[in-house]
Amino acid sequence: MLSKITNRISTVIKNDIYITRLIALMLIWLVFMGFFRFEKFYTVINFQTMAAQFPEFGLMAFGIMLCMILGGIDLSVVGVANFAAIVGAITLKKIVGVDGEMLGIAIPIVFIVGIIIGAMAGAVNGFLISIINIPPILATLGTFELFTGIAIVLTKGKAISGIPFGFSEAITGRLFGLIPIQLLIFLAMALVITFLVTKTTYGKKLYLTGTNITAAKFSGVKTTKIIIKTYMISGISASLGGLIMLANYNSARAGYGTVYTLQCVLIVVLGGINPSGGKGKISGVILAIFVLQMLASGLNKIPEISSFYIPLIWGGVLVAVMVMNYFTENKKIKL
């Protein structure tokens, strides 16, 4: 019995080094926090706070993940998120009166508007990459500037505040007083993306295009369509992240969340997605999101480490993971 279990575990370890590594990292960190900051870390409120925080960037990371599986990258996610949040905020202010009437209709409308913005932004990215043939890095860098630019023009560079409280209350509320609504939105999107990638032909085509776009073309995959679709999903995911940001801060500004680009790339690489495309699993990315949030929240509980160290730690972890990946991949080739 015991040998069976260890056997099972060893096959898992052999099959997916990335996920094993993440679980190990998470366990080590949990034990570490248990020893040094038990009363502060292991509380319901802390876990609820964490669950309310990671959906923002987790949703953006999903977008980058899909594009990276495709062999590209989407650096515009933060721009799309802010753009959607600002348009959402403007819509909300237009519909809802001062006394908070019409809120029931306003929230779905805001989400629909946000998703349409995300889809359109993604379609622009996809068009530039697949039809005009601009390399993904540049196209999405350009659209990042463009969407942020439009967002700045819409707000004249200022933050939009004075948003009706109802929206923020509804999204940052907790189901049964326990589960944050943001988490539910995140999980819903995670399910949709998992379904798309693992159960549909779209998923198969996505991996094939990411592995070898020429081969995919010659096997009859309409690569242009796949690329546009993928960037659209990325845009939608990012716009949902933006709407959650809007609810969390109860304001919108073009400059919010600029650190998320790096953080999302870190998550995706940590989760075992190969930047050259065609490889990686969603479960790894979801796990990486959890790990990163736990690291960030845990570090917050240690006042000796100033928050200025966080970029150093993120960057260091990213580079270390890339170097580790180099060694694991090379071992595979030698075998």
Partner 1 sequence: MSIRLKKLLRHNEFYIFVVILLLSFLIQSRSGQFYTPNNIVDIIAALIVPGLFAIGAFMVIVSGGIDISFPALASLSIYTTTRILVDIDYQGGILLPLVLTIIFGAVLGAVNGFLISRFKLQPLIVTLGVASMFRGFMQGVLKSVQIAVIPKGMSEFGTSSLFVAKNMETGLTSRMPTAIIILIITLVVVYFILNHTMYGRGLYAIGGNEISAERAGFNVKRIKFFLYVMVGIISSLAGLIRVSMMTQCHPTNMLGMEMMIIAGVVLGGVAITGGAGTLKGCMLGTILIIIVQNSLILMGIPTFWQGFFLGMLIIVGTGVSALQVKRLNSPKKGKGGDKYA
Return residues touching partner 1 (CB under 8 A).
Answer: 73, 128, 132-135, 137-139, 141-150, 152-153, 156-157, 254, 262, 265-266, 269, 275-276, 306, 308-316, 318-319, 322-323, 326
Q: Cβ distance 71 to 77 under 8 Å?
A: no
Residue 218 Cβ vs partner 1, minimum distance, rounded to whole Å: 15
Residue in the structure block whose two tokens are 């990325």: 234
Residue 197 Cβ vs partner 1, minimum distance, rounded to whole Å: 22
- For partner 1, which is the closer residue by CB, 70 or 254? 254
- For partner 1, which is the closer residue by CB, 11 or 276? 276
Residue 267 Cβ vs partner 1, minimum distance, rounded to whole Å: 12
- For partner 1, which is the closer residue by CB, 190 or 266? 266
Q: Which residues contact 81 (CB under 8 A, 6 or more apart)?
A: 60, 238, 239, 241, 242, 245, 257, 260
Q: What are the strands, taking DSSP E only, across 149-275?
A: 174-175, 179-180
Interatomic CA distance for residues 123 and 109, integer angstroms:
21
- For partner 1, which is the closer residue by CB, 34 or 316? 316
Q: Which residues contact 290 (CB under 8 A, 6 or more apart)?
A: 26, 54
Indicate the burial class of 235 (C-beta count within 10 angstroms; 0-12, 13-18, 19 or more): buried
Q: Which of 242, 266, 286, 293 lies closest to 49 in space, CA to CA?
A: 293
Q: Which two tokens stand for residue 16?
A: 């997916």
- For partner 1, which is the closer residue by CB, 68 or 110? 68
What is the identity of the amino acid at 302? I
Residue 62 Cβ vs partner 1, minimum distance, rounded to whole Å: 18
Q: Which residues contact 8 (CB under 8 A, 6 or more apart)?
A: none
- For partner 1, which is the closer residue by CB, 11 or 328? 328
- For partner 1, which is the closer residue by CB, 164 or 277? 277
Interatomic CA distance for residues 74 and 235, integer angstroms:
9
Residue 17 Cβ vs partner 1, minimum distance, rounded to whole Å: 17
Residue 182 Cβ vs partner 1, minimum distance, rounded to whole Å: 25
Angle between helices 44-69 and 77-95 (to 10 degrees): 120
Interatomic CA distance for residues 227 and 97, integer angstroms:
41
Residue 315 Cβ vs partner 1, minimum distance, rounded to whole Å: 3
